[in-house]
Structure 1
Amino acid sequence: MFEQQPEDLRFYVKQLATEALQKSEPSTWFEVLYTGAKGDTAKIPWAKLTPHPYLQDWLKNHQPFASGQKALVIGCGLGDDAEALAHLGFEVTAFDISPTAIAWCQERFPNSTVNYVVADLLAIPSQWHQAFDFVFECRNIQALPLNVRSEVISSVTSFVAPSGILLLITRVRDTEVEPSGPPWPLSDSELAQFENVGLQQVEKLVFLESELDVKQVRIEYQRHNYLTDLNYTAKA
């Protein structure tokens, strides 16, 4: 996420995140970064201006999708992932904590059907609870420190509707020792929290970040639909 950027940008991002953490405001630095970029995408480390390739791969291999399914993109950045979902017929909501990022999305895609919203992953709207058939989370959890990790994972999973899908892309680490960040890759015990709150792992893909010896995963989770399970058991 950060290492592929110029050294000065990596240092700047880490400095912003460290200062926010010291103020107990772990997510405020995103807006500082976006406003400081002044419209220059080269100053946003994760702005590739194209949908994530591992999202594209998953979508390609899981079509067709039912019309009108609701999708949520967490920490949508400049909107490319959200637009990819909208083009496939999803009713997409995409949010970011940065008002500048959301305005940037609306400027890039003025005729978009995506509902771009300013929202905080640590203070989510109650109407979003289990409201989405497909939820995409890419590298937002790893950008937040371990002292809010359980809360963030609970928030991410809470969006997923019964029988809905969460597609997670994140860096992972092979130890439970707290890493030096940002980013702060997820451990096995942290990944286990997704299943502890009602999701079931369907598919897991492990891959190395290009040109770096950094392990990442793409995991597809599904929420149990207990009503459907009960009906199936009754019929059996």
Structure 2
Amino acid sequence: MTTDEQRAYARHLAAEAVAAGDDTGWFERLYAAANSGDAVVPWADRVANPMLLGWLDTHRPAGTRAAVVGCGLGDDAEHLAALGYETVGFDVAPSAVRAARERFPDSAVTYREVDLLAPPADLAGAFDFVFEAYTVQTLQGDARRAAIARCAQLVAPGGTLLVVARARDEKDPPGRMPWPLTRVELDAFADGPLRPVEVEDLLDTDDDPPVRRWRATFVHS
């Protein structure tokens, strides 16, 4: 399956789920198909996100507790755990959580099945560092707004939220899934006590063609 075919299949599943009123159910269908060898998850590179790695070269969030939103196959969570953080990786897809556990059977990461749109109370304000990459951009409308708010609510006082997402200008068409975030949508992560301290508008040349991305850092006052 080519990269274009992978993305087309994911878009097909997303369109079906959204049409049925289920904003997140397609993730399980995609990961389950990938686990059985019938599909490939187009964003699962089986290495830690280079945007996270580059940021960590010059930043080191204080505290001990970290969370990875939409952890997928677990590479970002494993990297943070290797740095010494008590890490929770969560995903809405049970098949993704199962695959992460199977890939890293001796992991120090706690992998959990969690819907970001309705997270359990014990995750609220529980993390010194929260990493969100590419989850919000797969949602639209009310689901996107709710996901942004829930990400902000995970951050503990004094903690840091790092967001990575495709970027677009307000005047640009929304395009196809994954739908890029505008600056207004990115700024919405600054909810309540969270405030932006660094917003980078980057051209990711690792993609062909290159992709414009946001990498934004927020801190909890």
Shared fold (TM-score greater than 0.5)?
yes
User: CA distance change for structure 1 residues 27 and 178 in 2, over 3 Å: closer, same or farther?
Assistant: farther
2:54 paired with 1:61: no
Superposed displacement of residue 172, structure 1: 1.4
Q: Secondary structure at the match of 1:50?
A: coil
Q: Is the 8 A contact 2:35 2:99 kept in 1?
A: no
Residue by residue over 1:103-125, the C-alpha shift from the partner in whole angstroms, topping out at 9 and shown as x without a partner, is 10111000001000001011101
Which residue in the other structure is 1:6 paired with?
3
Q: 1:178 to 1:123 in 2, by over 3 A?
A: farther
2:163 alignment counterpart: 168
Compute the TM-score of the two structures, normalised by the length of structure 1. Answer: 0.86
Q: 1:197 to 1:130 in 2, by over 3 A?
A: same
- Among 37, 40, 45, which residue is 1:43 paired with? 40
Deviations 1:16-39 (A, max 9, x none): 000000111011001000111135
Partner-residue secondary structure (3-state), 2:189: helix
The structure with the largest alpha-carbon Rg is: 1
Q: Cα–Cα, structure 1 residues 41 and 138, in superposed 2: closer, same or farther, change >3 Å?
A: farther
Structure 1: unaligned runs, 5 residues or longer: 225-236
Tell me the distance in 2 between the aligned counterparts of 1:20 and 1:55: 30
Give the equivalent residue in structure 2 for 1:15. 12
Q: 1:27 aligns with which of 11, 15, 24?
A: 24
Equivalence for 1:116: 111
| 1:133 aligns with one of 115, 128, 131 | 128
Show the counterpart of 1:147. 142
1:186 correspondence with 2:188: no
TM-score normalized with structure 2 length: 0.92
Greater per-residue helix proportion: 1
Give CA-to-partner distance per residue, 1:158-211, whole Å, 9 cap, x none. 000111000000011102666133111111221221224321111122212333
* Matches of 2:44 and 2:27, distance apart in 1: 13
* Paired AA for residue 134 in structure 2: R
Distance in 1 (CA, whole Å) between partners of 2:183 and 2:93 is 30
How far off is 1:214 after superposition? 2.9
**C-alpha distance in structure 1 between counterparts of 2:171 and 2:108, whole Å:** 41
**Residue 78 of structure 1 contacts residue 105 of structure 1 at CA under 8 Å; is this kept in 2?**
yes
Contact 1:164 1:222 in 2 (8 A): yes
Q: 1:52 aligns with which of 31, 35, 49?
A: 49
Query: How has the CA–CA distance of structure 1 residues 175 and 41 changed in structure 2, closer, same or farther, with 3 Å as cutoff?
Result: farther
How many residues align? The count is 218
CA RMSD for the aligned pairs? Answer: 1.8
1:88 maps onto 2:83 in alignment: yes
Gaps of 5+ in 2: none
**Structure 1, residues 111-162: CA drift from partner, whole Å, max 9, x if none?**
0010000010111011111110000000100011123221111101000011
Distance 2:155 2:87 in 1: 14
Percent identical residues: 41
Distance in 2 (CA, whole Å) between partners of 1:173 and 1:42 is: 29
